[in-house]
Amino acid sequence: MITQEAPAPTAGAAAGRGRPGPRKARRRAWDEVPRWQIFLPLSIYLLFTLIPFYWILLFALRPSGSTSLIPWPMTGEHFEKVWTERSFAVYFQNSVVTGVASLLMTTLVALVGGYALARFDFRGKRPFMLGLLCSQFVPGALLLVPLFQIFAKLQLINSLTSVVIAETVFQLPLSMILIAGFIRNVPYSLEEAAWVDGCTRFRAFCTIVLPLLRPGLIAVGSFAFVHAWNHFLFALMFLSQQDKQTIPVGLNTLMSADSVDLGALAAGGIIAAVPVVIVFGFIQKWLITGFSSGAVKG
Amino acid sequence: MAPAAAVAKPPPKRRRALYPRRLPYLLIAPAGLLMLGFIAYPVISVFYYSLQHYNPTKPWRNGFAGFENFTHAFTQDPMFWDTLQFSVKWVVVEVGLQLLFGLALALIVNQTFIGRGISRAMVFSPWAVSGVLTSVIWVLLYNSQTGITRYLADMGIGSYGTSWLSDTGTVFSAAIIADLWRGVPFFAILILADLQSVSKDLYEAAEVDGASRFRQFIHITLPHLKNAIVLSTLLRAVWEFNNVDLLYTLTGGGPAGATTTLPLYVANTSVDAHNFGYASALTTVAFVILLFFSILYLRLSKFGSDDK
């Protein structure tokens, strides 16, 4: 690249020699992309992105039977109905438990394993890494039946544990690769310095490395949470009792009813979206630093 | 603990404590065991059952089948070819359009303009929306009585009466648009991240050379993005092939099987028809296709070979 760059100034000077002043001025002005070339496509795309969001809000907030395009007069009837009658209160609780448990389990297991990948060379590390990468190609949807059989043997069908395990397992490979990358970015010498000062490896890790990993761990943890919160198929398959189901399954039940209650469906959808919006709003700052520091170099 | 005491300890013992040979295995054990038990073992059992007749509702037929399941799929099951063909069509159209729009979007929000931060946040937001919620939103939009299609029909686009999701002529485009809505941000985010690492000097040099904006894009931006594009399209293609959340909830594979992908067909075969041996054979075929496609794609695109 550098060799190609070198002759550039002379070539530019030669090209500019014929018409020195005006051309340069025009170039500077041209440097900026015309505003309409930004705002026109952007507005069109924003319409495409935002109208669906507006639509679901509209259905959730306007009274049943209304055809108004503005959610006014506003009503909370759909939320009340879906929360109590359609037992979204129960689904919500189950989803929170599944999401938080998957978050903790994924982060903890990936942290421990990622540390080994980042800090040790050991026999079998390469095959292990290869296994992690290959598992990315294994579709969870196609393993439903063998997984069902395993959980049936372990007597975990209709227990949230089965969903937590399944979500964790499919989140693990990527989380571990990411966390190993974050740990590699923390100089080993920091840890070694702490050992010289008398810390055990565990204490050195907790006091020196862990605080530096915070942005990365928040990114990985929130992805595990959102993934488990959003994912549908495992919960659908492994949890058949209604009081064990999660929000996506509840939404599917509402959608596949013979006559769909659109207001309740929209309200349920918004209930499903709220935690995700909160998580992403809260972690946005961490997300950018987390991924730019670890994922790229890892 | 006083630092002096630690330093006074004999170094060999400390080294052994800090570099224990078993520690890394202990650390990867939880992850390794989970993945062996819940990914490797199920995969192996799928391979095993693909060679068996296995159907809990017809136990008298169970037993070793050899390659019968496979020959049945390739020679006697039109659904296999139909769903495979639909899967390929689905993946190619989705990934192609998502890449195209994602690239354009990333180039736009990479410019400096007023309101860039909020525009980025809004444009990227569907990325966090789940497949099921996407279905909920688009079911509302496509509803023939109260959906947006009714207002479009008022303006002369489309017709009243039928939902786009229940007509075999429109269901493909309808599902494609719904999945695009949440898929484009994935590419936009990844490409934007990579765009920010292009050296400004290159553009300045090209500018001085008198290269047009379009040629700068072709000769500087695209080569820089190549690895990111190859990797993200591959990951996305595999993901789009495997993912069933959206189509399962939006169309259920219908109407009349018009939107059934291979994984959806496999799920129906194993879950509804209980024909687990045959479903396993189909799964194995899907694995092999994905693996073959991934290797071929990485080879053809010479992934990672042009690192300078």
CA-nearest residue to A257 within chain B is B249
Percent of chain B scored above 90 by pLDDT?
Answer: 24
3-state secondary structure of A131: helix
- pLDDT at residue B170, as a whole number: 85
- For residue B118, how many C-alpha atoms fall within 13 Å in the half-sphere facing its CB? 4
First to last CA, chain B: 50
Task: Specify the number of domains making up chain A.
Answer: 2
Cβ <8 Å between A197 and B3: yes
| B213 located within any domain | yes
A170-198 pLDDT, tens digit each? 999 989 988 998 898 888 888 888 888 88
Q: Same domain for A246 and A122?
A: yes
Residue A41: the pLDDT is 92
Which of A56, A110, A176 lies closest to B140 in CB terms?
A56
Whether residue B37 is contained in a domain is answered as no
Residues of B in contact with A269 (CB under 8 A): 133, 136-137
Distance to chain B for A129, nearest Cα, Å = 11
- Under an 8 A CB cutoff, do B213 and A33 touch? yes
Same domain, A65 and A135: no
> Cβ contacts (< 8 Å) between B279 and chain A: which residues?
145
Same domain flag for A54 and A98: no
Residue A291: per-residue pLDDT: 52
Lowest mean pLDDT among A26-40, A80-94, A139-153, B90-104: A26-40
**CB-CB contact of B138 with B178 (8 Å):** yes
Q: Which chain A residue has the Cα nearest residue B28?
A: A113
The verdict on A104 and A146 lying in the same domain is: yes
pLDDT in tens, B140-155: 888 877 778 777 777 7
In this structure, the answer to whether residues A106 and A173 fall within a common structural domain is: yes
Is B15 domain-assigned? Answer: no
pLDDT at A286: 64
Tell whether A82 is covered by a domain: no
Residue A290 clears pLDDT 80, i.e. is over it? no
Mutate to test the interface with A, among B15, B19, B35 (most CBs of A within 10 A): B35
The pLDDT of residue A6 is above 90? no
Percent of chain A whose pLDDT exceeds 70 = 84
Asked whether residue A126 falls in the same domain as residue A248, the answer is yes
ipTM of the complex: 0.83
Q: Please indicate, yes or no, whether residues A166 and A215 belong to a single structural domain of this protein.
A: yes
Task: Enumerate residues 50 to 69 of chain A having a beta carbon within 8 A of any beta carbon in chain B.
Answer: 50-53, 55-56, 59, 67
Strands B52-53, B63-64: pairing is antiparallel
Please indicate, yes or no, whether residues A71 and A94 belong to a single structural domain of this protein. Answer: no
Residue A135: CA atoms inside 13 Å, Cβ hemisphere, count? 27
Both tokens assigned to B188: 């936009």
- Rounded to the nearest integer, the mean pLDDT of chain A is 82
Given a cut of 50, whether residue B40 has pLDDT beyond it is yes
User: Which of B30, B130, B263 has the CB atom closest to A113's CB atom?
Assistant: B30
pLDDT in tens, B268-304: 887 777 888 888 899 889 888 888 888 888 888 776 5
Point out which residues pair with B63 in neighbouring strands.
B53
Query: Which of A103, A116, A99 lies closest to A179 in space, CA to CA?
Result: A116
| CATH (domain of B162) | 1.10.3720.10
A19 versus B31: which is more confidently predicted? B31
pLDDT in tens, B189-231: 888 888 887 878 888 888 888 888 888 888 888 888 888 888 8
pLDDT in tens, A92-147: 999 999 999 999 999 999 999 999 999 888 888 888 988 888 887 777 777 888 89
Mean pLDDT on A89-93: 94
Cβ of B130 within 8 Å of Cβ of A109? The answer is no
Whether B173 maps to a domain, the answer reads: yes
In a domain, B12, yes or no: no
Residues of B with CB below 8 A from A272's CB? 130, 132-133, 136
User: How many separate domains does chain B show?
Assistant: 1
Residue B228's pLDDT is 84
- Non-local (6+) Cβ contacts of A60 within 8 A are A71, A78, A79, A263, A266, A267, A269, A270
Partner residue opposite B34 with nearest CB, options A109, A139, A251: A109
Domain boundary among A24, A51, A75: A75
Collapsed DSSP state (helix, strand, coil) of residue A19: coil
- Whether residues A142 and A248 share a domain: the answer is yes
Q: pTM (2 decimals)? A: 0.81
Would A4 be classed as within a structural domain? no
Q: Does pLDDT of B20 surpass 80?
A: no
Amino acid at B86: F
Residues A167 and A283 in one domain: yes
CATH number at residue A135: 1.10.3720.10
In a domain, A5, yes or no: no
* A59 and A101 share one domain: no
Please indicate, yes or no, if residue A58 is contained in any of the structural domains.
yes
Confidence of residue A31 (pLDDT cuts 50, 70, 90): low
Across the interface, whether the CB atoms of B34 and A169 are under 8 A apart is answered: yes
- Structural domain containing residue B121: 81-260+284-300
Least confident of A238-242, B2-6, B186-190, B221-225: B2-6
Across the range B101-126, mean pLDDT stands at 88
Tracing tokens 């929130």 back to the chain, one arrives at A222
Instruction: Supply A93's token pair.
Output: 């609780």
A151 and A53 in a single domain? The answer is: no
The residue range of the domain holding A274 is: 89-295
Tell whether A149 is covered by a domain. yes
- Is A167 within the bounds of a domain? yes
The answer to whether the CB atoms of A147 and B42 lie below 8 A apart is yes
- Cβ contacts of B201 on chain A, cutoff 8 Å: 5
- Which residues of chain A from 77 to 96 reach within 8 Å of chain B, CB to CB? none
